[in-house]
Chains A and B, each alone.
Chain A
Amino acid sequence: MSRVRVYLTPFDTVGNFASEIEITDDVIKIGKLQKQLDQTEYDLGIFRSSNLTITLRNDHGHYSSVNELTSVFAYKRSGSKLRITWDLADEDLVAGFFEAGYETLLPDEQAIFAGVLDDTEIKTNIDGQTLDFKILGYESLIDKAEIPYASINNGDSLDDVIYTALNQSTITNYLTVSSSNINCDYNPAIDDKSSLENKTLKSAFKDILFASNSVLYIDGTSVVVSSRDPTVSVIYTFYGHSSETPSVQTVIDIKNHREGLNRVFNHWTFRDTALVSRDASSIAIYGTRTKEIGLDIITDNTKRGTLLSTNVTEFRNPKIEFDLIAPMNYETLALKLLDRVRVDFPNTFEAPEFGVLSRYNESLYGEATFAIGEYSLAIDPQTDFKIMAIDQDVNSNTITFSLREV
């Protein structure tokens, strides 16, 4: 069960957005949909936008370049909006035309991805008359806009700088930019704006976000800058097959479980200065694991020191990380980056050889045998995790959540 639909909003002849059209019937393949924060396996502060590849049939020429007669693109292809939705129901229900007495799923179309076409990586396959489009998440827009240098002043807070940089038509034509959604973890006033001149938003934000221990992501159609803190309350709990809470199993698989030492950084320095912030306890256990930040717009050493100490607090201790694969449904689709979740995945116990699992009122001490346990991995249901990345696979109807211990 479930159905995926794809919608395209091209430009009209004068460069305004035309009406949205559904192109689902032309979709041959959809790659995995990825959303993630700023980390690779061994590093931080690597800004990455969500993206996917979509293959469309093009024997009718509807997705050919602007100059082609049958093309739906009247102005340009790059920048056209594309939206993907998911619906649990296989088909739309029309009153009087579905069989009573059988299982019926009410349709509820939900958006799971929105982005823009990227013309630079279009590939055409003559043999199959298909086109491969790269669709970039809206985060990619920040690499197409320049810092509005004249609008930024020394003394502006980092929040103000980010808001001013985002509040331009290149971004606001696609996304909602609100100052209430811009909240860096550490928000000092900038001292010297000169290094921002002629920079794209991406190259400027890379340093600003990393140094201020903040992340940028898209929530629906809104740009959000926040600390790395997860939500206050637990939004969802995943249950394994041996959970002691009566529950349906929602953990399909757990992969790449790590203790987190790969992302321990307990010795932070500021580029071209002697400033350093270190955590002695972490160094005593794990050795010196160093990271350097630089932020030319901050020249005051007190502020620089706070930037360093904010980061060492965040990364001084190892935090468990793993990828959890769950079924795709409305509950798991509603989960967002930085949501606080739990995973109830205890050890599994089996009945001993020639015996039964001990049961209250049936098994007697001295007669019954201990169960056989599988101890290689257990996750405490009282441990909180936050979502760092989301991969949606509409082909297998699964979602992979990259989780990091809070």
Chain B
Amino acid sequence: MIVWYKNIIDIDNDNITMNVSDSVATATGTPNFVRDRKNSTGWATTGSSDLATCTFAAESSQEETFDTIILIGHNFKNFTIQRFNGTIYEDFSPAINVTNNTATSTKYSVASNSTTSVKITITGTMTADDDKFLAQMIITNQLYDFGTTNQMEMDIVLDRDKKLTKTVSGKYHVARKPGGLSAKISKKNITTAAALAALKAIYESNFGFLFSFSGFDESLFTKTTAQFGYRKQDIFLMKAKTELESNYNDSYFNRGQDHKIDLIEII
């Protein structure tokens, strides 16, 4: 499980503007859809091709500091991602220059840096000459990677708030809503200080954190393909519903802490 801070370019950040340029496309879509936390919407060009130099930039009115860039639901085969240094766009460290990409959701960790603009330059799509599209763009800082040492037990539910009404025939009518994710994560005897600090931050969060329950790694699923809630594109903005409980394992102070958190997806 990896936890990141809320997307810096989230749709509720009024300091962000998106800029798209495509030398061939007849229309350059609605770039703000990549900020709305939904995989069912996104940005797409119309009439673009691999001949185009297509750039997609997120710009802030103030410098933002981050160490992670995530692209969800895209078809970029060859592309670069760069940062603005005040004068020109330059590579990150390490540089993000991707060729022959086939993954539709990708994550890049970079050295922590501050900038006012991040730009993607797309020079080819997975199917040649296709229009470019991208469902979500996340620019953020990692709170903690729980990895395998602190792998949490997880119980994930997509709560559709189903309302059952029995009809006169005896059959049921089911009304449901689009739903929000809820998850229970738990682990006993946690001794890693960084993990405990991250869990405390999760309890106390004002804005919520982004959760990837698979740690953005579908290769872990060796018996089945990654299912809903664990796919790379399944990143959710969540907050803790439970209160902070500070309990040591069996109350022995020379052991680690036990934590059990109920998470809920937030607006």
Contact = CB atoms under 8 A, between A and B. Distances in A.
B40 interface: yes
Contacts of A354: none
Interface string B182-226: 000000000000000000010011110000000000000000000
Nearest to B135: A359
A120 interface: no
B86 interface: no
A3 to B, nearest CB: 12
A248 B206 contact: no
B76 interface: no
A248 B178 contact: no
Contact of A247 (B5, B11, B131): B11
B28 to A, nearest CB: 13
A249 B180 CA distance: 12
The SS class assigned to the A binding surface is loop
A306 interface: no
Given A246-B35, A246-B36, A252-B267, 17 more contacts: A103-B205, A242-B178, A246-B30, A246-B33, A246-B41, A247-B11, A247-B36, A248-B11, A248-B12, A248-B36, A348-B177, A348-B178, A357-B40, A360-B44, A360-B131, A360-B133, A361-B44
A105 interface: yes
B267 A327 contact: yes
Contacts of B140: none
B258 interface: no
Given A102-B201, A241-B178, A360-B133, A246 B44 contact: no
B117 to A, nearest CB: 19
A246 B12 contact: no
A246 B207 contact: no
Interface of B: 5, 10-12, 30, 32-33, 35-37, 40-41, 44, 130-131, 133, 177-178, 201, 204-207, 267
B11 A1 contact: no
Interface of A: 1, 90, 102-103, 105, 241-242, 246-250, 252, 327, 348, 350, 357, 359-361
A17 B60 CA distance: 49
Contacts of B32: 246
Contacts of A242: 178
Which of B35, B204, B205, B206 gathers the greatest number of chain A CB atoms within 10 Å? Answer: B206
Contacts of A361: 44, 130-131, 133
A250 B267 CA distance: 8
Which of A241, A252, A327, A348 gathers the greatest number of chain B CB atoms within 10 Å? Answer: A241
Contacts of B33: 246
A252 B201 CA distance: 26
A105 B206 contact: yes
Contacts of A103: 5, 205-207
A102 B125 CA distance: 39
A1 B266 CA distance: 14
Contacts of B201: 102
Nearest to B39: A357
A232 to B, nearest CB: 23
A247 B11 CA distance: 6
12 contacts: A90-B206, A102-B204, A103-B5, A103-B207, A241-B178, A246-B41, A247-B11, A247-B36, A248-B36, A327-B267, A348-B177, A361-B133
Contacts of A105: 206
Nearest to B209: A103
Contact of B267 (A90, A248, A348, A350): A248
A373 to B, nearest CB: 12
Contacts of A90: 206
Contacts of B207: 103
Nearest to B208: A103
A157 to B, nearest CB: 44
Contacts of A102: 201, 204
Q: Which 5 A-B pairs have the closest CB atoms?
A: A246-B32, A246-B36, A249-B267, A248-B12, A1-B206
A252 B133 CA distance: 30
A179 to B, nearest CB: 38
Nearest to A357: B40
Contacts of B35: 246
Contacts of B130: 361
B128 to A, nearest CB: 13
B80 to A, nearest CB: 23
A105 B205 CA distance: 11
A249 to B, nearest CB: 4
Nearest to A249: B267
Contacts of B131: 360-361
B180 to A, nearest CB: 9
Contacts of B267: 248-250, 252, 327
Contacts of A1: 206
A399 B37 CA distance: 24
B165 to A, nearest CB: 13
A90 B33 CA distance: 32
Nearest to B37: A248
Contacts of A327: 267
B228 to A, nearest CB: 12
A350 B178 contact: yes
Which of A241, A249, A357, A361 gathers the greatest number of chain B CB atoms within 10 Å? Answer: A361
A375 to B, nearest CB: 12
A246 B11 contact: yes
Contacts of A250: 267
Nearest to B32: A246
A372 B164 CA distance: 19
A246 B40 CA distance: 12
B197 to A, nearest CB: 10
A116 B178 CA distance: 44
